[in-house]
């Protein structure tokens, strides 16, 4: 992973600014998708503590979060309560294998799968399962780690052996990282049409946070830069993550 320069000296505001720069591209894309529907049925598989789910519910949509971690779901419930959207958020303990037991097939308008595909055994099978949860025409928001940026980050940190090993894919049992071509091929094979592909965290993980914090206006400018490069194909290999929007055929 690129260097995370989070240190004890960082303030809550600066952490929030960095977090905004990390998520702005995904959130903007998702908000546009959700704007098409006043009250969508949204499923967030591996939604964890609800960083996205609660924001989606704040827009008036019904969100079912499925996650194997009871601790994460407890935090999600508290967050939803504090944000006044507990009635719109339901938390179900489960995982990708039990997804179709927890959510009726063809019932979701929008499905979030952020940071999960890299930790399941078989990403192609997982995407086939996700396709069954969505109604035809429903939209998948998929966020995965990107391989090329991870190679560069390891090399820049002096971990040349690790960088070399990552070049051709992960070792046994290691989290997967995907290229843009792999993501679109996997989506197509599972019955999705990719409608947008975004590079996420192209610069934010590379820039020391002190640089962003000391210069007035830097945080906002970095955010705008992340948004500007997100859809430029030449920057995709530099992005820590790839975000795809894909429609179920």
Ligand X SMILES: C[S@@+](CC[C@H](N)C(=O)[O-])C[C@H]1O[C@@H](n2cnc3c(N)ncnc32)[C@H](O)[C@@H]1O
Binding stretches for ligand X (CB under 6 A): 45-48, 51, 67-69, 72, 95-96, 114-116, 119-120
DSSP line for 40-86: -EEEEET-TT-TTHHHHHHTT-EEEEEES-HHHHHHHHHHHHHTT-G
Q: Could you tell me the CA-to-CA distances from 73 to 49, 77, 119, 159, 227 in Å, in that order?
A: 6, 6, 19, 35, 30
Shortest CB 158 distance to ligand X, Å: 26
Antiparallel, parallel or unpaired: β 192-200 and 241-248: antiparallel
Shortest CB 67 distance to ligand X, Å: 5
Phi then psi for 146, rounded to 5 degrees? -105, 140
58 vs 213, beta carbon nearer ligand X: 58
3-state secondary structure of 136: strand
Shortest CB 178 distance to ligand X, Å: 14
114 vs 248, beta carbon nearer ligand X: 114
Distance, C-alpha 153 to centroid of its chain = 19
173 vs 217, beta carbon nearer ligand X: 173
- Residue 247 makes CB contacts below 8 A (sequence gap 6+) with 137, 138, 139, 140, 192, 193, 195
Label residue 225 exposed, middle or buried (CB < 10 Å: 0-12, 13-18, 19+): middle
**Rounded Cα gap, residues 25 and 34, in angstroms:** 14
* CA angle at 161 for the pair 159 and 165, rounded to the nearest 5°: 115
Shortest CB 137 distance to ligand X, Å: 23
46 vs 138, beta carbon nearer ligand X: 46
Shortest CB 211 distance to ligand X, Å: 25
Shortest CB 142 distance to ligand X, Å: 11
Shortest CB 97 distance to ligand X, Å: 7
41 vs 145, beta carbon nearer ligand X: 145
Reported in sequence order, the residue ranges of 106-233 that DSSP labels E, i.e. its strands, are 108-114, 134-145, 192-200
């Amino acid at each position: 992973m690129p260097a995370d320069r989070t240190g004890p000296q960082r303030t809550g505001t600066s952490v929030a600014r960095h977090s905004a720069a990390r998520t702005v591209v995904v959130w903007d894309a998702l908000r546009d998708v959700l704007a098409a529907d006043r009250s969508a049925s949204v499923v967030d598989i591996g939604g964890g503590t609800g960083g996205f789910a609660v924001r989606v519910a704040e827009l008036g949509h019904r969100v079912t979060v499925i996650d194997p971690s009871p601790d994460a779901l407890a935090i999600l419930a508290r967050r939803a309560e504090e944000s006044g959207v507990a009635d719109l958020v339901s938390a179900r303990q489960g995982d990708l294998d039990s997804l179709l037991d927890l959510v009726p097939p063809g019932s979701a308008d929008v499905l979030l799968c952020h940071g999960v595909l890299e930790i399941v055994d078989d990403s192609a099978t997982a995407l086939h399962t996700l396709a069954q949860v969505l109604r035809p025409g429903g939209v998948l928001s998929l966020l995965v780690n990107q391989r090329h940026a991870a190679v560069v980050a390891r090399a820049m940190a002096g971990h040349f052996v690790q960088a070399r090993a990552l070049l051709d894919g992960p070792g046994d049992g290691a989290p997967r990282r995907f290229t843009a071509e792999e993501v679109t091929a996997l989506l197509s094979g599972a019955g999705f049409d990719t409608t947008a592909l975004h590079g996420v965290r192209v610069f934010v993980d590379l820039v020391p946070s002190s640089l962003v914090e000391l210069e007035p206006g830097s945080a906002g400018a970095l955010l705008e830069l992340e948004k500007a490069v997100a859809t430029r194909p030449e920057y995709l290999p530099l992005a820590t993550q790839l975000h795809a929007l894909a429609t179920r055929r």
